[in-house]
Structure 1
Amino acid sequence: MIQLMQQTWQKHRSLVAYLVFGGLTTVVNFLLFGLLTSAVSCPYLISNVIAWFGSVLFAYVTNRRWVFTTHAATTKAQIREVASFFWYRALSLGVDELIMLVGVTLLGGNALLVKLIDQVVIVLINWVFSKYLIFK
């Protein structure tokens, strides 16, 4: 039984770690967004970009170290990895901004509620980018 549990953990470790750290990244993003829109009265699309930047920094460190455990051997390889990570996250930011624009401006939804729904989509997109394109 213990061996089966260990095999299952080894097989799904990166997915479980991604869900944990993806969840924490979402919390960072959501808290920054909420703070900026509510406490500072920053416009929601600008708050979204600032929250994106903070959460992407958090995500890169946690994804590299604990989720996909990559060890870029050279400085050039590490720069390529960072650039790739930010490039694909910028693509998902485009989707993020579009969802926010449609949900808040066009449909009149509450920004925090739209942001919460939005983050589910973004976490899934970022998993695919990270697993198959960035930390391969």
Structure 2
Amino acid sequence: MKHLYSKYHQWIDYIFVGVLTTIINFGVFFLFDTIFGISYLIANAISIVVAILFAFYMNKKYVFKSRTTDRKVLFREFTLFVGFRLGSGFYDMLSMWVLVAYFSLNTNVSKLLTEVVVVLLNYAFSKFIVFRKRNTHA
């Protein structure tokens, strides 16, 4: 079991953090959409922002183990992370609108379907662009 974890730790950690992020994303969406009765698009935007902030911290620290404390590098990581997450957030918003407005799907079902693609996009952006290992030699 240890061997499997050491071989696939990043995927396992990403899936775990992704599940937590998705729970937070969906929980905030459900709270604002279903409990408070706020427009599903506004509820979705709020849930995306909360999830982005949570995911940045968790991915930086636990998944990709980026230990940088240099402000310039930290700012770069944060802006890239948020930028790409806003890109996937745009997909999230668009697909929610299409699924609800044109296919008349329930907002909660639409949110779950949308998150599958969003999680895959976010992993690729984070692994290959935001937190990729850089050669620090000149």
- Output the TM-score relative to the length of structure 2: 0.92
1:58 equivalent to 2:38? Answer: no
- Alignment length (residue pairs): 132
What pairs up with 1:61-100 in 2 under 5 angstroms?
A: 61-100=57-96
Whole-Å Cα distance in 1 between the matches of residues 17 and 70 of structure 2?
26
Which runs of no fewer than 5 residues in structure 2 stay unpaired? 133-138
More helix by percentage: 1
Of the candidates 22, 26, 35, which is equivalent to residue 22 of structure 2? 26
Following TM superposition, the consecutive aligned residue runs of length 4 or more in structure 1 with deviations greater than 4 angstroms are none
> Aligned partners of 1:21, 1:41: CA distance in 2, in Å?
28
Residue aligning to 1:129:
125
Superposition deviation, residue 50 in structure 1 = 0.3
Check if 1:112 corresponds to 2:108.
Answer: yes
Question: C-alpha separation between the residues in 2 aligned to 1:72 and 1:66?
Answer: 13
**Aligned-partner Cα distance in 1 for 2:69–2:62:** 17
Q: Which runs of 5+ in 1 are unaligned?
A: none
Q: Give the structure-1-normalised TM-score.
A: 0.93
Fraction of identical pairs, as percent: 34
